[in-house]
Amino acid sequence: MVIISCVRMFDPWDTMVAQSTFTNPLIYSDFPDNDVSKGPDGDYYFSASSFQFSPGAPILKSLDLVNWELIGHSVPSVAAFGSTFEMQDTPAYVSGVWASTMRYRASKGKWYWYGCIGFSKTYVYTATSVTGPWAQAGTISHCFYDCGLLIDDDDTMYIVYGQTNISIATLSSDGLGITKTAQLFSGPGGASEEGSRLYKINGFYYVLGDRPSGTTYVWRSSSIYGTWTYQTLQTGVSSPIPGGGLIDQGSFVQAPNGDCNKWAVSYPFPGTSAAPLPARNGTDAFSGTSPGPGWEWNFAPDTTKFSINNSLTLYMATVTNDLYKSRNTLTHRTDGGSPIGTVEIDFSGMADGDSCGLAAFRDSTAWIGVTRSGSTYNLVQVSGATQDSSNKWATTSTGNTIASKSISVSRIYLRVSMDVRPNGAKSATFSYSTNGSSFTSFGSIFTLNSTWQYFTGYRYGIFNFATKTLGGFIKVISFTTSGSS
């Protein structure tokens, strides 16, 4: 088995040849709290957290545990979780999809996803194909916190869950209710333990659990409700990225060649190299009728305020001067330690008082964009939009305009270049172009925030909002990502 931990990995996707070894990180991006398992086709499927972003619970696929492709989401829209996930009342930042679980159930020919939302109840989504469509099958009035699903040999479904005090539930035959629940064990010495995953291997049941300080435990029992004993699998293991902190939360996975390894920086390649997968970096020209799997909205979008047809049209959806309360902000994960995002925008449809742009988006945000005042259009760079983690993520600043200049074009390329390496500059710089090839620096360097409370890393955010009245719009012609590890 291979433990894949909370991964930020390197990108071998474009040049896949026969490999004898591979090196972590496999994907240098933000897919936390992974739950990895084999599907009915023998391939590997990776479910991750996504918090308030929509669609939620991203799914990645791999043929060999090394090369991964983002293929979809288990939660079609976080709007199902309530109005606070639609930018109503107090937006539920850093809520939504936390550590969840996904497995294939052969007897029903379906995939099942379970996740506790808001510490109150667990949502269940199912699909006959892992790529969807996924649909909400029901809810369970019990919070399966940091849960792990096992479908036993007799088709009984169990979920292990909890923090410090770890419990298990036997589910009803349809997977939508509980028939029995009991506490299994507590974290050693009463310490916090979380991220539980449940497995059955050679007749024994195993629970993989983690302490946030970087210790991984393996618990074992010969019966599901029996006596459980533990061993410390590893402790104090650091990320393969310099300065990246300790490893926390992962999965047990049977490698194609049967190897069983603890966490390491480099491994023998676990199987036969797969066929080349689509590169994560490149240009998206928004073909089709919906954003691709690499995109997630900040909260559930107002679907009447955007359209896609060989470009993305974003109609102004909110009257505000606060990016954190601006609906229909479309986000994209960064890739690599030095990611670069470039958006081409036609802003000729903006109305008086409108703003649009490209952000380095998190609880401390900066952006480059265009504002309209009367008949004047200004290129601006705004820094220091911030939120308060201790006060339900209330906005503490909408940011300050660092640079501004009048422009006479109606289409522009905006670029954000970041250094997100833990031991790097942790910075964002901004530039623009009118032709897409020659870029001019604009504004000042912005220092990125890396506190743990927001949970997710920085993302690109394409946004617009009205400060006076609705009615304007922008067209996003394309978005290009590049960069290096």
Digit-coded pLDDT (tens) for 206-253: 999 998 888 999 999 999 999 999 999 888 888 888 888 888 888 988
Q: Are residues 207 and 290 in the same domain?
A: no
For residue 16, what pLDDT is reported?
Answer: 31
363-420 pLDDT per residue, tens: 999 999 999 999 999 999 999 999 999 999 999 999 999 999 999 999 999 999 999 9
Q: Are residues 337 and 250 in the same domain?
A: no
Q: Which of 118, 217, 198 is nearest to 159 (CA)?
A: 198
282-295 pLDDT per residue, tens: 999 999 889 999 99
In a domain, 264, yes or no: yes
In a domain, 275, yes or no: no
Give percent of the chain above pLDDT 90. Answer: 80
18-30 pLDDT per residue, tens: 467 888 888 999 9
In a domain, 210, yes or no: yes
Query: Number of C-alpha atoms within 13 angstroms, CB side, residue 469?
Result: 4
In a domain, 64, yes or no: yes
For residue 276, what pLDDT is reported?
Answer: 66
- Which CATH number fits the domain that encloses residue 298? 2.60.120.200
For residue 272, what pLDDT is reported?
Answer: 64
In a domain, 277, yes or no: no
Residue where the block lists tokens 């071998």: 12
Structural domain tally of the chain?
A: 2
Q: Are residues 133 and 250 in the same domain?
A: yes
100-151 pLDDT per residue, tens: 999 999 999 999 999 999 999 999 999 999 999 999 999 999 999 999 999 9
Q: Are residues 235 and 376 in the same domain?
A: no
Measure the CA–CA gap between 384 and 39, rounded to whole angstroms: 44
Q: Are residues 144 and 65 in the same domain?
A: yes
Dihedral sign from CA coordinates of 232, 238, 240, 244: positive
Residue 93 has pLDDT above 70, yes or no: yes
Q: What is the average pLDDT score of the chain?
A: 92
Global confidence as pTM: 0.94
Q: Are residues 288 and 258 in the same domain?
A: no
Angle at 37 between CA 31 and CA 43, to 5 degrees: 100
Q: Are residues 103 and 164 in the same domain?
A: yes
Q: Which domain holds residue 452?
A: 282-484
Q: Are residues 325 and 233 in the same domain?
A: no
